[in-house]
Structure 1
Amino acid sequence: MAPLISIKSSEDKLEIVNQLLLPHTTEFIQINSVEDAHDAIKTMKIRGAPAIASLPALSVSQHLTRGLKSSPVPDYLLSRDALKTHIDGILAFLYTSRPTAVNLGAATRRLTKTLNDGISVEKEPREIVQDLIAEGRAVADEDVGRNKEMAKWAGEWLIQRVRDQGLDFSRGLNVLTVCNTGSLATSGYGTALGMITYLHETQKLAKAYYTQTAPYHQGSRLTALELQTLQIPSVMICDTMVGSLFQHHSIHAVVVGADRIAKNGDTANKIGTYNAAVLAARHKIPFIVVAPISTVDLDVADGSHIPIEQRPPIEACLVRGIRYPNSGESEQVQVMITPPGLEGIYNPSFDVTPASLITAIVTEKGVAVKAEGETSGFDLSPIV
């Protein structure tokens, strides 16, 4: 079966699959402006750290492509100063769409550098715009290749670790993941889910387990859809059942993605990841983080400085889906599962897993593990 995709783009047409409607309805919606891109990220029609970097970059490329074709000529093409003011404003606006995922900032910084480099050598505005269009598309295009690289690094590292420990995996490896990190969260293949896909493709995977997190979070539903599409044997569990799973089943690793990795290796990921890490440590199960280099934020010393997005309280009170049982209709309904007017709702999107609970961090450049005798932090320099 064909892999799922989150973004479709052409010369100046940009579409995303509305992830709020998945897995029951597949609907692509057009992104016609940077304001549309901002709204899609803010309302979580698109999600996943790599994907929410690709979409803004592509929306900037779309905006500038249309600008080059416009008549009369837009004011921002008349001078380098006007272009800088215009692009800086757009990038600053897009950066506000979601605060935790550092990939978004990495993408806007790349475009800022392209802009400033062009200005510093006194390129004409149209030439700088062409550079920006190419750079915006490159942000998205590079994602698939690096995802496959990190998935292989992570998969092979786990296989070797299991071998070194003398464990029997003749029937394949069992791996647990949290949230969605596949093609719908990236530009293709995936990060943590990419590792699971790699193990499946190389016939080293027995079963993938994935958690159902807080009611409104779509991660488990999207993971279910992706694993089903790829025909990967899998089991969904509630996040409160992870401890029971570890007690009664042989799990060889927990693998997760990341929205931001601090300099010492502390990692922000979807809420519920910290719970899984604590339980994995208790059961001596390796805990692996798989994420692109752009997710590593060397300007943040540790996890205490990672901004954690707080979602609107109402989202924790609602679930969306199709009626059950039904007669085949696909119309979606949204229901409230709490008493109306409930106060005191704690609803963070992410938590931070300390480096002390992480066994390995993987990027497209390789695998980082803690030095012999080190328990608290990582040296990430070889993989960034």
Structure 2
Amino acid sequence: MSQSPFTLQSFKYSDDRLEILNQLLLPHTIEYVEINSVEEAHDAIKSMKIRGAPAIASLAALYIALYLKRSLNTAPAPKFLASTESLAADITPILDYLYTARPTAVNLGAAMRRLHQALAASVAAAEDVQSATRRLIKEAEDVSNEDVGRNKEMARLGGEWLIEQVKQRGGGGKELNVLTVCNTGSLATSGYGTALGLITYLHETGHLDKAYYTQTAPYHQGSRLTALELQTLQIPSVMICDTMSSISAVGADRVAKNGDTANKIGTYNAAVLAARHNIPFIVVAPVSTVDLDVPDGSRIPIEHRPPVEACIIRGALYPGTEDDKAQAVVMFTPKGLTGIYNPSFDVTPAELITAIVTEKGVAVKKEGEQQFDLSGIV
């Protein structure tokens, strides 16, 4: 995986070591934490030490690869390496356990199913256990290695399509302004990024003027509450920009069959504002994020985070102290507050989305339709 030396990586992986960047401590502290057990891998995903749908899928897969590599190098060999059947019996519950760490991000489930299928193929082919183990290691490493290439292809396809669309709308396509929501760069993927990858591509090709990054969890829950729960709040918002040279681009944790998209809280806000001001709203996500088994956004499981997360702020002490790394966690709500609403994601309906970009192509809605046909990009 090739990265700029100035780019933070969500994880570091070698033949005998797996580390993650503890994103709970960012931006003030950069600390890598070693992952040595399935419990540590599960906790890193569930507690959001590592986040981003592609990144958590990569971590889970790479833990499996590390576990198997260490097992192959252990003497005497663990009992589960006695046969392909015992290998499957050992690995299957580990895959199932890792899958439970985050319910909304479909990439994790896709990665675990991919490894299940590789195991099943080895058992069906009656492979010797050494070959089956190495096949599974390669499959797990491919989950991560393929991600960077997918991201770059998405960025290219989306960037080229976008530049052409802007030209058709009367803009020159030379310098674009892009607003994005949540973390979609190297910390959310195996490298380069999804929506941020698109922004990077525009910068690298000389088409980016400014990129705007909006704050998200846990303070942008109003739009989800309005759209899906109470439908009574009215939240005044305004975004002023040149509609001929501005776009909104976001990633996704799950895209339903009709194009409805679950992403970090705050995405729906941006989609509504983009529609109000006639700004293209683009979802950039790998094929593994598209879930054709889910017909629409109402069927996407929405993860709710611990209520306390909506009551606290973590940050560096200000004004500065002698210890410039000192941090504090402050509760800003009354003690004993109940009824706290803290979903991690909101759902943007397909009708508000201009295009969905994957590594297989760009999908747009047919004239007069409110939903997508995603068959051409999955």
Q: Please, what TM-score do these two structures have when normalized by structure 2?
A: 0.92
Amino acid at match of 1:260: R
CA displacement, residues 48-79 of structure 1 (integer Å, 9 cap, x when unaligned): 00000000000000011111122232121112
Partners of 2:252 and 2:149 in 1: CA distance: 18
Amino acid at match of 2:278: K
Structure 2 gap ranges (5+): 221-233
Go from structure 1 to structure 2 and tell me whether the alpha carbon gap of 1:207 and 1:326 turns closer, same or farther (over 3 Å shift). Answer: same
- CA contact under 8 A between 1:53 and 1:107: conserved in structure 2? yes
Q: CA deviation at 1:243?
A: 3.5
2:167 maps to: 163
* Aligned pair partner of 1:22 in 14, 18, 26: 26
Go from structure 1 to structure 2 and tell me whether the alpha carbon gap of 1:247 and 1:362 turns closer, same or farther (over 3 Å shift). Answer: closer
Partners of 1:242 and 1:294 in 2: CA distance: 35
* Aligned pair partner of 2:61 in 54, 57, 64: 57
- CA contact under 8 A between 2:218 and 2:265: conserved in structure 1? no
Please tell me whether residue 13 in structure 1 is matched to residue 7 in structure 2.
Answer: no
- CA contact under 8 A between 1:65 and 1:133: conserved in structure 2? yes
2:184 maps to: 181
Q: What is the DSSP-based 3-state SS (H/G/I as helix, E as strand, rest coil) of the residue aligned with 1:20?
A: helix
2:285 maps to: 291
Partners of 1:184 and 1:273 in 2: CA distance: 18
Partners of 2:265 and 2:41 in 1: CA distance: 24
* Aligned pair partner of 1:206 in 195, 206, 209: 209
* Aligned pair partner of 1:112 in 110, 116, 141: 116
* Aligned pair partner of 1:80 in 79, 84, 96: 84
- CA contact under 8 A between 1:177 and 1:256: conserved in structure 2? yes
Q: What is the DSSP-based 3-state SS (H/G/I as helix, E as strand, rest coil) of the residue aligned with 2:155?
A: helix
1:134 maps to: 138
Please tell me whether residue 354 in structure 1 is matched to residue 349 in structure 2.
Answer: yes
Partners of 2:253 and 2:304 in 1: CA distance: 14
- CA contact under 8 A between 1:176 and 1:253: conserved in structure 2? yes
Please tell me whether residue 44 in structure 1 is matched to residue 41 in structure 2.
Answer: no
Go from structure 1 to structure 2 and tell me whether the alpha carbon gap of 1:297 and 1:366 turns closer, same or farther (over 3 Å shift). Answer: same
Q: Percent identity?
A: 65
Q: What is the DSSP-based 3-state SS (H/G/I as helix, E as strand, rest coil) of the residue aligned with 2:29?
A: coil
Amino acid at match of 1:258: A
Please tell me whether residue 320 in structure 1 is matched to residue 314 in structure 2.
Answer: yes
CA displacement, residues 112-167 of structure 1 (integer Å, 9 cap, x when unaligned): 11101111110012211111111111111111111011011111111111100112
* Aligned pair partner of 1:270 in 264, 267, 272: 264
Partners of 1:101 and 1:242 in 2: CA distance: 30
Amino acid at match of 1:176: L
Q: Paired residues, what number?
A: 360
Q: What is the DSSP-based 3-state SS (H/G/I as helix, E as strand, rest coil) of the residue aligned with 2:122?
A: helix
1:367 maps to: 362
2:226 maps to: none
1:222 maps to: none
- CA contact under 8 A between 1:216 and 1:318: conserved in structure 2? no
Go from structure 1 to structure 2 and tell me whether the alpha carbon gap of 1:150 and 1:15 turns closer, same or farther (over 3 Å shift). Answer: same
1:333 maps to: 328
Partners of 1:380 and 1:305 in 2: CA distance: 17
- CA contact under 8 A between 1:176 and 1:251: conserved in structure 2? no
* Aligned pair partner of 2:36 in 7, 14, 32: 32
CA RMSD of aligned residues (A): 1.8
Amino acid at match of 1:11: D
Q: CA deviation at 1:275?
A: 1.5
CA displacement, residues 330-368 of structure 1 (integer Å, 9 cap, x when unaligned): 122111111111111100000111111110000011100
Q: Please, what TM-score do these two structures have when normalized by structure 1?
A: 0.90
- CA contact under 8 A between 2:154 and 2:357: conserved in structure 1? yes
- CA contact under 8 A between 2:238 and 2:273: conserved in structure 1? no
Partners of 2:350 and 2:242 in 1: CA distance: 26
Amino acid at match of 1:213: T
* Aligned pair partner of 1:191 in 185, 190, 194: 194
- CA contact under 8 A between 2:104 and 2:254: conserved in structure 1? yes
Go from structure 1 to structure 2 and tell me whether the alpha carbon gap of 1:250 and 1:347 turns closer, same or farther (over 3 Å shift). Answer: farther
* Aligned pair partner of 1:124 in 122, 128, 132: 128
Q: CA deviation at 1:250?
A: 7.3
- CA contact under 8 A between 1:258 and 1:269: conserved in structure 2? yes
Amino acid at match of 1:212: Q
Partners of 2:161 and 2:133 in 1: CA distance: 42
- CA contact under 8 A between 1:242 and 1:276: conserved in structure 2? no
1:227 maps to: none
2:231 maps to: none
* Aligned pair partner of 2:153 in 127, 149, 170: 149
Partners of 1:130 and 1:169 in 2: CA distance: 48
2:73 maps to: 69
Amino acid at match of 1:147: N
2:229 maps to: none
Go from structure 1 to structure 2 and tell me whether the alpha carbon gap of 1:215 and 1:307 turns closer, same or farther (over 3 Å shift). Answer: closer
